[in-house]
Structure 1
Amino acid sequence: MNVTLTTWLITIAVTIAFFVYEFFVHVRKPHEPSIAESARWSVFYISLALLFGVGIGIFSGWGFGGEYFAGYLTEKALSIDNLFVFLIIMTGFAVPKAFQQKVLMIGIIIALILRGIFIAVGATLISNVSWIFYIFGALLLVLAWRQAFSDHESDPANGKVVKFARRILPITDDFHRDRITVKIDGKRFFTPMLLTIVAIGFVDLVFAVDSIPAIYGLTEEAYIVFTANAFALMGLRQLFFLIGGLLERLVYLAQGLAVILAFIGVKLVLHAMHVNELPFINGGENILWAPEIPIWFSLLFIGLTVAVATVLSLRKTRNQDLEAKSATETDPEAVEKH
């Protein structure tokens, strides 16, 4: 895929412009977005991402188009999982609804910056060190195991990073609108808004470690990696308010993502065998009998996994709601006892 420096600069400039627009038009004035507003902007950003993928397919070939769509779908699924952790963090810090937009926007910008750094590092490693695919594959398998058995139940307000910040910084007990610092009796204090941003920044770092090796398992094109990540993060703020209640119902999302990460991890290891140069594996020769997983199969597998995880999650929570309703109707005191 031939991407000129001009194309790169235009893409980065447009991406920055979108986030600047988001901040000054939607986030600068604190408010809780309505469902209608969130739905309109979510549809806009998702449609824009899909049109961009079609453009890649038309102008660069549908092989690259397929890589983009597989990468975008994977990054979007990981971003939704990221949103779930954001929800836990803001609940832990009791961030007022009107100020959650600012926290989300800052968290998304931090995520984009961190992923941009990881993308550059990943592209450099891939172009110079072929055995890095073994490392990426092994890392994804470990992350898949962790993802499958994570419970998201830790209290972010009492994490080690936050506790350290509380020890070294003067922090107020209450929020002062959406301000990060406030002056009280002539002394400058930080507000819980800063601690929330610190916690989200740390989570962004962890998720960047997950997402970049995952998408490099689907494509080696840095441009596709960057644009898939950028479009996955665009509209994430609106999506948070649109599916806020649904997030808690996606009980199998972590397991679905674990399957996807494990699949990409295996795909990376198989690819590493094809380009093998390690002298202690097959004498440093390529292992050509190892199958390469085609991108169309990757796209199909990822799409089906996300769909199955979503359907099973909604079915389970629906059955739980029906059981709870039935128990309440038969024994009104059951809820109080529970």
Structure 2
Amino acid sequence: MNVSSSVWLLTVAALCVLVAVDFFVGRKPHDVSIKEAGTWTVVWVVLAVLFGAGLWFAGGSGPTGEFFAGYITEKSLSVDNLFVFVLIMGKFAVPTQYQQRVLMIGVLVALVLRAVFIAAGAAIISAFSWVFYLFGAFLIWTAWKLVQDARKQDHDEEYQENKLLKMAEQRFGVADRYHGTKLFITENGKRIMTPMLVVMLAIGSTDVLFALDSIPAIYGLTQDPYIVFTANAFALMGLRQLYFLIGGLLKRLVHLSYGLSIILGFIGVKLVLHALHESGVHVPEIGIPFSLGFIVLVLAVTTFTSLRASKQQQAGAAGEPAEETRRAAGESR
């Protein structure tokens, strides 16, 4: 898709306006209600659909299919990232009224990081066609690792601080409590970090790892930098509201990691086939319509099996106390 520099500038400017509106709406610290989160989630989804419709009129079905395939994939990976956000919020005991501010900064950091990764990926792809083999192999390895991690641990584990975060805490020191939304305070004549800044650094540093997975994944669906960037932007910009909307549902998506591993593995194979095709090897390529349908089907099946498994677990947990009560009554007789 041939996109002029003026369209690029207009798109970036429009996205900056949307980010600014989102920031000022949630500028005052408060507890986000389900109604507020749901309303804004719908707004961001509608905006993404309208943008996809605009692509249809401007470039036809090809770019539109690539955008929606990339958008759904990135949105799915972002939902998995919310598990880590939940762990970070719990680790640092972030008050509920400040959580939206932390997430807003995290989303902004993610947008900047992904823009850098997208530009780097486009430059590497244009210079080295063999990088598709590397991207494909990386996604297949990531898919396998995701399955292994899902089998040996669950999302209730404790968040472990990385080395960068520990170095910052040792270098500047950390206050023992939150001071509103302040990032630094002066204590005993020394300028130290607040827990708010520590949480933002934790989410920002994990965004780097998120980008390493998501950028190769979407380049496996489209090599158009404009579509890659806009699909990532729309997927991330509703992430803050989605956190509050499905916060309680996250623990019930017990099979999400397996579904994402299938999607990443599928895209990895698609990249390898594309690389072979570009090298002159006659192999079948996987089209966007099939890719989009496969991704939607995997997510639908994963969601259904997750909710069903969670319901069975809850029913089993509710049955255990009843069984213990019956046993105790029998023993007392």
Q: TM-score range by the shorter chain?
A: over 0.9
The DSSP-based 3-state class of the residue aligned with 1:179 is: coil
Structure 1 Cα separation of the partners of residues 218 and 47 of structure 2: 20
Q: Counterpart of 2:33?
A: 34
Query: 1:106, CA displacement in angstroms?
Result: 0.6
The DSSP-based 3-state class of the residue aligned with 1:319 is: helix
The DSSP-based 3-state class of the residue aligned with 1:6 is: helix
Query: 1:57, CA displacement in angstroms?
Result: 1.8
Task: Give the counterpart of 1:212 among 211, 215, 227.
Answer: 215
The DSSP-based 3-state class of the residue aligned with 2:306 is: helix
Check 1:256–1:163 CA distance in 2 against 1; reply closer, same or farther (3 A cut): same
Q: Counterpart of 2:18?
A: 18
Q: Counterpart of 2:306?
A: 313
User: Per-residue displacement from partner, 1:44-69 (whole Å, max 9, x unpaired)?
Assistant: 11111112112212220101111111
Structure 2 Cα separation of the partners of residues 108 and 147 of structure 1: 23
Q: Counterpart of 1:110?
A: 109
2:9 counterpart letter in structure 1: L
Question: Is 1:156–1:199's contact at 8 Å kept on the other side of the alignment?
Answer: no
Q: Counterpart of 1:191?
A: 194
Query: 1:164, CA displacement in angstroms?
Result: 2.1
Structure 1 Cα separation of the partners of residues 51 and 219 of structure 2: 19
1:312 counterpart letter in structure 2: T
Q: Counterpart of 1:69?
A: 68
The DSSP-based 3-state class of the residue aligned with 1:156 is: coil
The DSSP-based 3-state class of the residue aligned with 1:245 is: coil
Query: 1:328, CA displacement in angstroms?
Result: 2.1
Whether 1:168 aligns to 2:191 is no
Question: Is 2:175–2:194's contact at 8 Å kept on the other side of the alignment?
Answer: yes
CA RMSD of aligned residues (A): 1.5
Structure 1 Cα separation of the partners of residues 207 and 175 of structure 2: 25
Structure 2: stretches of 5+ with no match in the other structure? 328-333
Check 1:157–1:190 CA distance in 2 against 1; reply closer, same or farther (3 A cut): farther
The DSSP-based 3-state class of the residue aligned with 1:188 is: strand
The DSSP-based 3-state class of the residue aligned with 1:149 is: helix
Structure 2 Cα separation of the partners of residues 110 and 153 of structure 1: 25
Q: Counterpart of 2:9?
A: 9
User: Per-residue displacement from partner, 1:7-29 (whole Å, max 9, x unpaired)?
Assistant: 10011111111112211221x21
Structure 2 Cα separation of the partners of residues 226 and 161 of structure 1: 28
Task: Give the counterpart of 2:271 among 247, 268, 271.
Answer: 268
Question: Is 2:109–2:207's contact at 8 Å kept on the other side of the alignment?
Answer: yes
Task: Give the counterpart of 2:288 among 281, 289, 295.
Answer: 295
The more displaced of 304-313 and 160-169 is 160-169
Percentage identity across aligned positions? 52
Whether 1:232 aligns to 2:235 is yes
Whether 1:132 aligns to 2:131 is yes
Structure 1: stretches of 5+ with no match in the other structure? 277-285
Query: 1:141, CA displacement in angstroms?
Result: 0.8
Check 1:323–1:153 CA distance in 2 against 1; reply closer, same or farther (3 A cut): closer
TM-score, scaled to structure 2: 0.94
Question: Is 1:93–1:157's contact at 8 Å kept on the other side of the alignment?
Answer: no
Structure 1 Cα separation of the partners of residues 115 and 156 of structure 2: 29
User: Per-residue displacement from partner, 1:220-257 (whole Å, max 9, x unpaired)?
Assistant: 11110001000001111111101000011111111111
2:39 counterpart letter in structure 1: R
The DSSP-based 3-state class of the residue aligned with 2:185 is: strand
Question: Is 1:260–1:305's contact at 8 Å kept on the other side of the alignment?
Answer: yes
Structure 1 Cα separation of the partners of residues 42 and 161 of structure 2: 36
Question: Is 1:67–1:224's contact at 8 Å kept on the other side of the alignment?
Answer: yes
Q: Counterpart of 2:184?
A: 181
Question: Is 1:38–1:242's contact at 8 Å kept on the other side of the alignment?
Answer: yes
Q: Counterpart of 1:281?
A: none
User: Per-residue displacement from partner, 1:76-132 (whole Å, max 9, x unpaired)?
Assistant: 000111111111111111111000001100111111101000110111111121111
TM-score, scaled to structure 1: 0.92
Query: 1:177, CA displacement in angstroms?
Result: 1.6
Structure 1 Cα separation of the partners of residues 62 and 91 of structure 2: 44
Query: 1:196, CA displacement in angstroms?
Result: 1.0
Question: Is 2:84–2:159's contact at 8 Å kept on the other side of the alignment?
Answer: no
The DSSP-based 3-state class of the residue aligned with 1:262 is: helix
Aligned length: 323
Question: Is 1:89–1:199's contact at 8 Å kept on the other side of the alignment?
Answer: yes
Task: Give the counterpart of 2:318 among 322, 325, 328.
Answer: 325
Question: Is 2:136–2:269's contact at 8 Å kept on the other side of the alignment?
Answer: yes
Q: Which runs of 4+ in 1 moved over 3 A?
A: 151-155
